[in-house]
Amino acid sequence: MPSFFAPPSVVPDISPTEAAFLSLRRGERWRREVATEWGNHLATAATGIGKRIACTRRPDPRQGRPPLRRATLDTSPPIDGGEEGCQAIRAGATSQLQTLASEDSAISPQVGEMSGRTEGDAVGREPSRLALAAAFASLPTSAFAHASDRGHVLLLPTGYYVAGGALAVAVSFLVLALLPPEALDRFWRRRLPLFALGDASRTIVSAISFAGFAILLAAGLFGSRDPLSNPLPLVIWTLLWVGLALLQGALGDLWSWLNPWYGPWRVVSRLIGRGGEQDGRLPAWLACWPAVGLFFAFAWFELIDPAPDDPARLAYAAGLYWLQNFILMLVFGHREWSRRGEFLSVFFAMVARFAVVERDAKCRLSLCWPGAKLLSAEPLPTAGIAFLLLALSSVSFDGLSKTFFWLGLFGVNPLEFPGRTALIGIGSFGLVLTFVLLAAVFALAVHVGQRLAGDRHSFAQAAGLLVWSIVPIALAYHFAHYLTALLVDGQYALAALSDPFALGWNLFGTADMEVEAGVVAGADSAWWLWNLQAGVIILGHMLAVLVAHGLAWRLHPAAARAALSQLPLTVLMIAYTVFGLWLLATPTAG
């Protein structure tokens, strides 16, 4: 076994009965998530190193399957289950083993449903799985102490990753504290000119985007009810919220061209004789609180609502959201409402400041360092601070809400996940609590930093400027959290877009493409996925420290005072690095 695997001695022992139950549950979960929904599944298992490879063909959307959730396979290798995992197993191992054994003969292996957002726990079980569980029970019990609802059992030294990540962030702070500000200022100011890109075709591109959005709404209302075959949930939750957000962070403000409001707004404004932006203005005191409220509603719908992937339900929600914002843009102007009310535009504009492509006032493009544009940003008002913190806290809670730790706080057995409807109250409380705690800790870090540096600036100015350092962390969490969804559901999206109404079309030649689940399945995939996710989180925090130092020098020209002001914020970033890596590795359910 490679040296990077943890020794079995660090894993608490469990009984053969518990091991059999855990093995059965994990095998059942894997079949439920892959074999039942995606067709032919080839699975092999071994102790220590297990490898499962899935290569499937897209199912026929016209077969009348029940609504299913998108295939967000959580494949990050778990840390040692420890006492928490063992207690969860012991809580229901014997009774659940008996229950599952009695159900084997009554449930057809052809019936099934994937785990995820859409509720339901009708699962296909193969009669041979008890024999497989019994065989696993005869193996050393320490190999099954990693109780989690993931695709693999891998023993990785997660503590080393956590300690290494925290050390990397701390060392980056020390290095930056020793460097002269002038050297870093020259580093940030470097640009590589490219070419000019005007707005002449922006209206046309936006109008095409609106036409595509209208087709997606129609597909949601009249197409397949299966979210893995209907393009609307796949495009919104995977291509838009995940894919486009990452592209914004890499290439710049693509959303200003692709948003489905600008083109129709230009056309309707001219038809009614209201050209230009000389429309009503939002009150100054309102800032961007409308965007904060809409973002929270979006996060609640995505994370808490029982069925956010139901195509018809999502079509109504998306259609009403578009219409509401379109009317408000006609009243207040596109630019005004996009900057302060429409949360996607606000979010994507903030994320685009991290991109390596910059576009100046004369429409000339140039390349810059990642995060360089954040250093020239103006301090955000209180609403802007809340918006950025909500962007980070909502993704963090999405990962936290499925952990054994969180469910155990409310007496929920993670091995008997009750479904999203039963957890609406807990989820809503957790979403608010995560935001409040993050906001409080961030405010405390800024306040203590001001006191250490003897800062004469107001707290609002310091917090509004330093909060821009959250952008690299939010992007890193966005990438790490949704990576597996993008890799698998992105394939489903390509297939669904070729046949949006489940009529047997093949518009782009991808309707019958094979969905490669193996890209996120197996020991090898888990290794590179985990290292990629962990590496991005660590790099995001290191870049955040770098950006925070650059912003601190705007508040404190003296390098010593700038470094002192960043001590508490660096401690917060180190703690959040540990928290993020823990989220990637801790056992999860549901």
Q: CA 85, CA 73: separation in Å to the nearest integer?
A: 20
pLDDT confidence tier of residue 75, bands split at 50, 70 and 90: very low
Read off the amino acid at residue 389: L
Answer with the residue of higher pLDDT: 70 or 551. 551
Q: Quick: pLDDT tens for 513-534.
A: 988 877 777 777 878 888 898 8
Task: Report the mean per-residue pLDDT for the chain.
Answer: 77
CA distances to 243, 265, 285, 481 from 254, in Å: 12, 18, 29, 22
Euclidean distance between CA atoms 497 and 234, whole angstroms: 9
CB of 542 closer than 8 Å to CB of 423: no
Which amino acid, one-letter code, is at 51?
Answer: K
* Helices 202-222 and 311-332: angle between axes, nearest 10 degrees: 150
Q: Could you give the CA distance from residue 32 to residue 539 in angstroms, rounded to a whole number?
A: 35
Q: What is the dihedral of CA 463, 469, 471, 475, to 10 degrees?
A: -140
Q: Identify the band that residue 89 occupies on the pLDDT scale cut at 50, 70 and 90.
A: very low
Return the higher-pLDDT residue of 508 and 44. 508
Quick: pLDDT tens for 320-348: 999 999 999 999 999 999 999 999 999 99
List residues bridging with 192 in a β-sheet: 367
DSSP secondary structure letters along 282-325: --GGGTTHHHHHHHHHHHHHHHTSS-TT-HHHHHHHHHHHHHHH
Q: State the average pLDDT over residues 426-444.
A: 96
Looking at the DSSP assignment, which residues form a beta bridge with residue 57? 514
Three-state DSSP class for 389?
helix
Q: Tell which wins on pLDDT, 70 or 586.
A: 586
Q: Does 76 have pLDDT greater than 70?
A: no
Average pLDDT value for residue range 546-558: 88
Closest CA to 49 of 108, 103, 6: 6
User: Using CA atoms, how far apart are residues 291 and 343, in angstroms rounded to an integer?
Assistant: 4
Residue 275 pLDDT greater than 90, yes or no: no
Q: How far is CA 556 from CA 131, 454, 457, in A?
A: 68, 10, 9
Side chain identity, residue 534 = A
The answer on pLDDT for 34 being more than 50 is: no
Is the pLDDT assigned to residue 479 strictly greater than 90?
yes
Poorest-pLDDT segment among 107-111, 365-369, 516-520, 579-583 = 107-111
